[in-house]
Amino acid sequence: LSTFSPPIQRSLIRLFEEDTYNLRNWGHEVSAAIDQWCFAQKLALEATSKLAATVMSYSDQKFPLDETAYDIPTITNRVAQTFTEINGWMEIFLQQIECCVQYPIRKINAELDELVEHLRPNVADAFSNLAEAEDKFLRMGKKDAPRKLEEANNDVFISKMSYHKLALQYCSRMNALQTNRYMQFIEPMLALLYAFKSLFNVGHDAFRNEHLTSFLTQAQQQMQDIDKNSEADRKKSTELLTKLSELSKSEHELYYGENTSSDQCKIADGVQKHGYLRIKLKSGLFLSNWEKYFVFTQGASLMWQKPDQLVGTLMLDFSTTPGCSAEVAGDQTERRFVFAVNVPATGEGRGEGDRKWFLQARNTADMHQWVEVINNLAGSQHKTQLPAEVAEDVQQRISTEKKSFESETHSINIAALTPSNTPVYELSKLALMRQPIEFDLLSLCASPVTDFKVADLAQDACNFDVRFLGCIEILSDQGGDAAIQPAIERVLDARTAHSISDSTACTMVISRRLMCVALLNHENNDDIKAYFALSDVVCWTTHSNERIFALVTKCAADKGPLNRPSFKCSVLSTDDTADASDVCKVLESVTRESLNSMLLKKSTIDDESEDLSVKKTAGSDTGGEKSENDSKGS
């Protein structure tokens, strides 16, 4: 290698240099890609570690609605433990990549950088010095001094020796790259594949563990059970949404704030009510605000609480504060739908007058309902003014019933309801929709419980295990199934709409001896929940559901001019041991036997009274004859 090298040799050197330069560029691209992958792998390690810690922290969280039966903390701990194991495998895998792949590629890139950036410029400088020294030596003339010729010759010697050393090193290292490139580039790639293979083998062996397989099987089975339960809930939700959609189409007036076509229905005694009301409260000396409160009745007390509170506080206790009443506010306030609750003075403090609460309801119907409920609880029975249409309808019903009372002799219907033995009565479905529903056993008894021992009920009686679903007041005991079936559907739809699943378990006792129907506490039979004399049981009927039946009973008469009784339709459900038809058959049988015994007793009493009158007549005749004989003898 010198300045006198042939052109083909110089072209070969340039070819080697081009190959080295391209190899260097590709090596840097591979190194950058591996560095990026290693950085991403480190991020994956950090993310996996954080994921395992987050999943593990589920057991430390407080979930008020967490199902303990599902045992989710056990599953999350096992999953977090598996994530931690995977993170350990990935960490070892990353270390293998850094040692067996990243380091060798960086090493060969450093070699290429040394050749291209340092050795190649040095060789070029040495070649330039050699060419300059040879050119200077050849320009020397024959007349030049021997000393100059010797110096020029020495410069050629030094430049050529330096160039030859650098050129030989340069060419030999470029020549070595032709074989080392396979060792220093391909071998790290194979090491990368071996690292992946090792990682996958470790994971495969670990996940083939019987304990992990059993755990995954149990967890999957639990997920399927939960999905089945949720499917049933989703189905119920879909049915409920469908019913609500149909109701919104048929009863779209319910969505208005004020429904002018709604009927005002009588609220039965003992009905509880709740809802949001705006109450007028003083906020300063001359200022007052209408604040929103959740108001509800509890027994004979009126409770209230703010929307963000969990527990209500006592607002008024009607049992300890007699004389309370509610009335429509009218012109006392500028707002609509306002009613006033009048609280009389207690007389404890001087100068203390009557207090008055102003409450605003949602609409007119809601206002009248609140007034009637509060008056019922307070015992004042304050009569509210009905709208003109409802008042007219009520007057028509009173006049019709008054005529029927005057012209007919009423008797108790003792047979089961059938369309053939009961007149058809047209009920207003909208009025039935407005009637309140009781889901407890308050105010069911028409007459007070007579003084008898509970043990007497067990004698000559039939017992059934039933559940009380609810009761609703109906307008009349006439109408047959056309009147009772809508009431049953109203109670069942209300339970579905309000998601009421609980019901009161009772023991229904039908006593032949005492001629009554009693509902006893299922757990404590000494506790009488409800009592009906057979004379108060008007009628009964079954539902399309073979477990459900209705019992229509007469309640206490109101204080109106006609002394009209009210009727309650109680909806009950039997257990798996009996059907509703069985209960109705027993009711019919016991009622017929009771009626026959009453007729027999009445006929016996009539016979005895007739015999007694005959004896009295005969005795008077005998006494007359004896007195006549005595007079003759005298």
Greater pLDDT, 322 or 382 = 322
Domain boundary among 160, 192, 208: 208
Check residue 305 and give its pLDDT.
Answer: 92
Least confident of 31-40, 55-64, 582-591, 602-611: 602-611
Residues in CB range of 304: below 8 A, 6 or more apart: 279, 293, 294, 295, 296, 312, 313, 315
Containing 224, the helix (H) or strand (E) segment is helix 210-250
State the Cα–Cα distance between residues 551 and 539, nearest whole angstrom: 6
115-145 pLDDT tens trace: 888 888 888 888 888 888 888 888 888 888 8
413-472 pLDDT tens trace: 433 443 333 333 444 455 566 677 888 775 455 444 555 666 777 777 888 999 999 888
Check residue 286 and give its pLDDT.
Answer: 74
> In terms of domains, do 176 and 37 share one?
yes
pLDDT at 189 over 60: yes
> In terms of domains, do 476 and 551 share one?
yes
Give one DSSP letter per residue of 66-103, joined into a string: --GGG-HHHHHHHHHHHHHHHHHHHHHHHHHHIIIIIH
Average pLDDT in the 582-604 region?
Answer: 82
CATH of the domain at 444: 2.30.29.30
Per the structure block, which two tokens stand in for 277?
């009301």
Least confident of 131-135, 363-367, 406-410, 498-502: 406-410
> How many domains does the chain contain in total?
3
pLDDT at 516 over 90: no
| pLDDT range class, residue 246, cuts 50, 70, 90 | confident
Instruction: Indicate whether 258 belongs to any domain.
Output: no
Greater pLDDT, 327 or 171 = 327
Check residue 47 and give its pLDDT.
Answer: 92
Instruction: Indicate whether 405 belongs to any domain.
Output: no
> In terms of domains, do 346 and 480 share one?
no
Check residue 49 and give its pLDDT.
Answer: 92
Give one DSSP letter per residue of 125-152, joined into a string: HHHHHHHHHHHHHHT--TTS-HHHHHHH
> In terms of domains, do 49 and 140 share one?
yes
| pLDDT range class, residue 50, cuts 50, 70, 90 | very high
Average pLDDT in the 621-632 region?
Answer: 46
> In terms of domains, do 114 and 50 share one?
yes
pLDDT at 560 over 90: no
pLDDT at 633 over 80: no
> In terms of domains, do 346 and 453 share one?
no
Check residue 89 and give its pLDDT.
Answer: 92
CA dihedral 277, 283, 289, 294 (to 10 degrees): -10
State the Cα–Cα distance between residues 186 and 346, nearest whole angstrom: 102
Instruction: Indicate whether 244 belongs to any domain.
Output: no
Instruction: Indicate whether 545 belongs to any domain.
Output: yes
> In terms of domains, do 189 and 291 share one?
no
| pLDDT range class, residue 328, cuts 50, 70, 90 | very high
Instruction: Indicate whether 24 belongs to any domain.
Output: yes
Instruction: Indicate whether 351 belongs to any domain.
Output: yes
10-22 pLDDT tens trace: 778 788 888 888 8
Residues in CB range of 288: below 8 A, 6 or more apart: 280, 281, 282
> In terms of domains, do 432 and 339 share one?
no
> In terms of domains, do 352 and 437 share one?
no
Domain extent at residue 69: 7-208
Least confident of 164-178, 248-262, 591-605: 248-262
Containing 169, the helix (H) or strand (E) segment is helix 146-181
Look over the chain and give the mean of its residue pLDDT values, rounded to a whole number: 77
Least confident of 5-9, 306-310, 503-507: 5-9
pLDDT at 209 over 90: no
Instruction: Indicate whether 168 belongs to any domain.
Output: yes
Instruction: Indicate whether 539 belongs to any domain.
Output: yes
Average pLDDT in the 596-613 region?
Answer: 69
Check residue 234 and give its pLDDT.
Answer: 86
pLDDT at 51 over 80: yes
66-105 pLDDT tens trace: 666 677 888 888 888 889 999 999 999 999 988 888 888 8
pLDDT at 162 over 50: yes
Greater pLDDT, 335 or 183 = 335
Handedness of CA 365, 371, 372, 377 (dihedral sign): positive
pLDDT at 385 over 90: no
Q: What is the pTM for the complete model shown? A: 0.43
264-280 pLDDT tens trace: 666 666 678 899 999 99
Average pLDDT in the 35-64 region?
Answer: 89
CATH of the domain at 116: 1.20.1270.60
Greater pLDDT, 505 or 379 = 505
Percentage of residues of the chain with pLDDT beyond 90: 13
> In terms of domains, do 377 and 420 share one?
no
Check residue 16 and give its pLDDT.
Answer: 82
> In terms of domains, do 201 and 283 share one?
no
Apex 56 CA angle, 54 and 61, nearest 5: 80
Check residue 527 and give its pLDDT.
Answer: 80
Average pLDDT in the 156-181 region?
Answer: 82
Check residue 323 and give its pLDDT.
Answer: 84
Check residue 348 and give its pLDDT.
Answer: 54
> In terms of domains, do 75 and 131 share one?
yes
Least confident of 112-126, 394-408, 524-538: 394-408
